[in-house]
Amino acid sequence: EDRPVPEPGPNEVLLRMHSVGICGSDVHYWQHGRIGDFVVKDPMVLGHEASGTVIKVGSGVTHLKPGDRVAIEPGVPREVDEFCKTGRYNLSPTIFFCATPPDDGNLCRYYKHSASYCYKLPDNVTFEEGALIEPLSVGIHACKRAGVTLGSKVFISGSGPIGLVNVIIAKMMGAAAVVITDLSASRLQKAKEVGADFTIQVKNETPQEVASKVEDVLGCMPEITVECTGVQACIQAGIYATRSGGTLVLVGLGSEMVTVPILNAAVREVDIRGIFRYCNTWPVAIALLASKRINIKPLVTHRFPLEKALEAFETTKRGEGVKVMLKCDPTDQSP
């Protein structure tokens, strides 16, 4: 609260923040102080799923003006390197990214950001939907990397927020059938609500048994598996489940080293692909939301004012609901 209001640079905008979602990575930094090689060494502002209102623009900004409602893409390349030139700026090693050490996030009242990575929201897209574009982008990027297309049979492992957005996007991209697994019955019920065709509650089955159940409900092995947990057994099940010649996309992040049946994947030509965040997804997501082709509103299950941020983080840590949203603008009275 005592942080000074920042002044935007020539190509930046100053925003009064509105809605900020809490991500599992935010909780992980809060609890453990690191994710892989990214270590918190100094106090850091969390938050990277966000939307807000422009209140001031830099001298070089022409596409935005005060009063514009925007969604914020949290990753901004610092230089035009080889990855930017090929359109894969998410892989740029020097990229700025909200709430990734040492870069501050945007869970605050006022925040400045590169204007090029702020996207104007149509009148029929809410602030909350604007904030949800960040997790939605993970689903768009993952399904593109997986090659989801008309008639695809898709297996999604994990029914947390990222698993759910992958259900939504896979169906939007033409998947004929989507099956999703999770330990939690309530999360699987939410997956049904957002479009999953089949759900499987995993208890203590082996990876091979999970793969067999996936094949049973689909009537065939899926061409595409999207793994959203990072758990070793789930990655193993993903390999066993995927049809020969198919694709497994690793979205969830777990241990640095995992044991997997790599020979099984190799001899069956199962392609294993990773994803790192996303790129070029905000315009796509905004178009989908504005046209009402997708509905992501059911993902938000809890809302808190910024003053109750600790309570909001505790709620996320306990795994309650799906997406916890913080409201940063005390003057806004919208529901």
Predicted pLDDT of residue 330: 75
Which domains, and CATH codes, for the chain? 12-120+296-327 (3.90.180.10), 139-274 (3.40.50.720)
Mean pLDDT of the chain: 96
Reported pTM: 0.96
Predicted pLDDT of residue 81: 97
Confidence tier at 333 by pLDDT (50, 70, 90): low
Predicted pLDDT of residue 123: 97
Q: What 3-state DSSP class applies to 12? A: strand
Residue 131 has pLDDT above 80, yes or no: yes
Confidence tier at 222 by pLDDT (50, 70, 90): very high
* Half-sphere exposure at residue 282, Cβ-oriented, CA atoms within 13 angstroms: 20
Predicted pLDDT of residue 4: 84
SS (H, E, C) 61-124: CCCCCCCCEEEECCEECCCCCHHHHCCCHHHCCCCEECCECCECCCCCCEEEEEHHHEEECCCC
Please compute the mean of the pLDDT values over residues 100-122 and round it to a whole number.
97
The 10 Å CB-count burial string (b at 16+, else e) for 225-240 is: bbbbbbbebbbbbbbb
Predicted pLDDT of residue 295: 96
Residue 335 has pLDDT above 90, yes or no: no
Predicted pLDDT of residue 218: 98
Please compute the mean of the pLDDT values over residues 100-128 and round it to a whole number.
97
Please compute the mean of the pLDDT values over residues 131-157 and round it to a whole number.
98
Confidence tier at 2 by pLDDT (50, 70, 90): low
What is d(CA 27, CA 43) in angstroms, rounded to the nearest whole number?
A: 15
* Higher per-residue pLDDT: 284 or 36: 284
Residue 37 has pLDDT above 80, yes or no: yes
Residue 1 has pLDDT above 80, yes or no: no
Please compute the mean of the pLDDT values over residues 232-254 and round it to a whole number.
97
Confidence tier at 125 by pLDDT (50, 70, 90): very high
173-217 pLDDT, tens digit each: 999 999 999 999 999 999 999 999 999 999 999 999 999 999 999
Predicted pLDDT of residue 36: 84
Predicted pLDDT of residue 51: 98
Predicted pLDDT of residue 331: 75
What is d(CA 188, CA 180) in angstroms, rounded to the nearest whole number?
A: 7
Residue 144 has pLDDT above 60, yes or no: yes
Residue 128 has pLDDT above 90, yes or no: yes
